[in-house]
Structure 1
Amino acid sequence: MFTEGQLYSPVTTHEDGTVEVHLADTHPGRDDAQYLQRRGEIAGAALAWDRGNVPVPTIVYTPQEHAVWSRVSHELAPLHARFAHREYLEAKERLGLPTGHVPQLAEVSERLLPLTGWSYVCAPGLVPLRDFYADLGGRTFNSTQYLRHGAEPLYTPEPDIIHEVIGHANQLASPRLAAITEAAGRASLRLETDEAMKLVADVFWFSIEFGVMYDGDDLKAYGAGILSSYGEIQEFADMEIRDLDLADMGTLNYDITAYQPVLFAARSMTHLEDVVGDFFATVDDDAAAALRVEAGRRGLLPLARH
């Protein structure tokens, strides 16, 4: 099962008002006191933000943080040209994100709004699953504002602003991909059971996050998780590629901390819309339950989930 909060480091606020981000022992910044303080400051800005009354907080990024953004942007550019689907590439060109500095979320919104009507808001890290999807249904994307540790700029154990913006904002600049994302959010508002919500989130994982799609005879990536990962974008074509299959996508057991060994390929953008887009646009609790029954009949339901 995928939830937007699973990959994010926990955040707590102490009695004195300081905010602490609890990084995993394997995180490159775990023993860097300056990085830990910085992460706490950025998370604190999001926690203190009054969503209804004031603009998204501006983060004054350091030269080192701008350098990380620039390094990753320039390293990903030739990989995008080689491996990204044309739908993503054309959207990326329209959006025109800066490559030399970290954009403010307000700047991302200003670029997206006239293209597809989407905007960005800040989050300290974890966003409850239903809250995240409800916002998607309103064309609003919850994004972190911190950057990965500078010691390993081409690696991050958790989604940072590079994933949220280079991966998702470029994707959301495509009207067709944005419409599928919005439909997933709207689906969450119809669903009452947690089982149905989890199934929708898993289909989202294997499409919007880790989707691949043919462009003619060539397999390309459109998923934000692949296109924001320097390593995974070079490996996805060697994974097990299956046809779009909602019962399989919605119940497959997988590990969120590793490269995805199984990916689902759409034959075209229209095929993706017809299968995944229509699923998000129409799914309800009964339809989700029927898919789980089908998965069970076909022996697809896992014994346990990571």
Structure 2
Amino acid sequence: MFEEGQLYSPVTRHEDGTVEVHLSDNHPGRNDEHYLQRRGEIAGAALSWTRGEPIPVIDYTETEHEIWRTVSHQLAPKHEKYAHSEYLAAKHALRLPTEHVPQLHEVTERLQPLTGWSYIAAPGLVPLRDFYGDLGSRTFNSTQYLRHGSEPLYTPEPDIIHEVIGHGNQLASPRFARITEAAGKASLRVETDDAMKFIADVFWFSMEFGVMREHGEVKAYGAGILSSYGEMDEFAHMELRALDLADMGTLNYDITQYQPVLFCAASLDQLEDVVGSFFETVDDDSAAKLRAEAVDRGLVEAASD
């Protein structure tokens, strides 16, 4: 199940105005004071930003640009090998820069003519309902920091590489963008936390870690896979299950590990028919019925009183 807050390092603004990002013990930058200070500066820019104002511009360092270049160049051949053609076509249409970290307004300027989506700045965690509510208005909350330079091909949390190379390229596809928008609008229809988590879990196993068949091969379209150097080498060896909403909405998973179970669509048409239609129609009652189905099938234990 999706647990809000697991993905991002907590951010604190102190009384003196300084901003501290609390990295996990396994984070490569945990003991790097310069990196910690930089993370605080970038998070502080987002915290000080007010909607309606221009998106904060980050003066990225040459080290940060080099991380972006390294990852962009390393991911490119893997995308050509492992990504679904819909993602590749969207990536080629978006034409993200590979030699420098793009500003979020630059991503918006490239995305809007394609699908009408825009990017806004987030310091880290955005409350679940706020994040999805913004998706419903074709707005993506993105972090602006980069992973630690000691491990440019790894990050324990979503950074701008994940948010932009993963999701931005995905959102440049009108078909993927419609599914994502539908997930956001679904969050506005449901009232219970259980239904909201069910939506987030289906999103996790589709738009974050989804795969589908194409010309007899399993290809990735999920942003979490396609922004991860290591995950792309591993996903074809995982247990692949057919799209199953009851299973997708209740399966437990560990966000800190490669995903051992993935749900594979037979085609993009099927993804739209199953996942897209779910997001377009789900409400509290239908989410509860799917969870009850999962209990009846032994996919998940019934909630204790």
Does TM, scored on the shorter chain, surpass 0.5?
Answer: yes
Q: Is the 8 A contact 1:3 1:201 kept in 2?
A: no
Matches within 5 A, 1:1-306: 1-3=1-3, 5-52=5-52, 54-302=53-301
Q: Is the 8 A contact 2:295 2:302 kept in 1?
A: no
Amino acid at match of 1:29: G
- Over 3 Å counting, the alpha-carbon distance change for 1:3 and 1:89 in structure 2 is farther
CA distance in 1, matches of 2:192, 2:280: 17
Q: Is the 8 A contact 2:12 2:21 kept in 1?
A: yes
Shift of 1:7: 1.1
When the two chains are superposed, the root-mean-square deviation of aligned CA atoms in Å is: 1.0
CA distance in 2, matches of 1:144, 1:3: 19
Q: Secondary structure at the match of 1:120?
A: strand
Shift of 1:137: 0.1
Structure 2 residues not aligned, in runs of 5+:
none
Residues 100-140 of structure 1: CA distance to partner in whole angstroms, max 9, x if unpaired? 00000000000000000000000000000000000000000
Q: Is the 8 A contact 1:253 1:302 kept in 2?
A: no
Q: Secondary structure at the match of 2:25?
A: coil
CA distance in 1, matches of 2:236, 2:184: 29
Shift of 1:51: 1.1
Shift of 1:4: 5.7
Q: Is the 8 A contact 1:4 1:132 kept in 2?
A: no
CA distance in 1, matches of 2:2, 2:126: 13
Residues 150-187 of structure 1: CA distance to partner in whole angstroms, max 9, x if unpaired? 01101101000000000000000000000000000000
Shift of 1:2: 1.9
CA distance in 2, matches of 1:209, 1:2: 12
Q: Secondary structure at the match of 2:110?
A: helix
Shift of 1:5: 3.4
Q: Is the 8 A contact 1:21 1:36 kept in 2?
A: yes
Q: Secondary structure at the match of 1:231?
A: helix
Identity between Structure 1 and Structure 2 (%) = 76
Q: Is the 8 A contact 2:265 2:271 kept in 1?
A: yes
Q: Is the 8 A contact 1:210 1:263 kept in 2?
A: yes
Amino acid at match of 2:135: L
Structure 1 residues not aligned, in runs of 5+:
none
Paired residue total: 303
- Over 3 Å counting, the alpha-carbon distance change for 1:171 and 1:302 in structure 2 is farther
Residues 269-289 of structure 1: CA distance to partner in whole angstroms, max 9, x if unpaired? 000000000000000001001
- Over 3 Å counting, the alpha-carbon distance change for 1:265 and 1:284 in structure 2 is same
Amino acid at match of 1:177: F
TM-score between the two structures when normalised by the length of structure 2 = 0.98
Shift of 1:301: 1.0
CA distance in 1, matches of 2:302, 2:166: 32
Q: Secondary structure at the match of 1:12?
A: strand
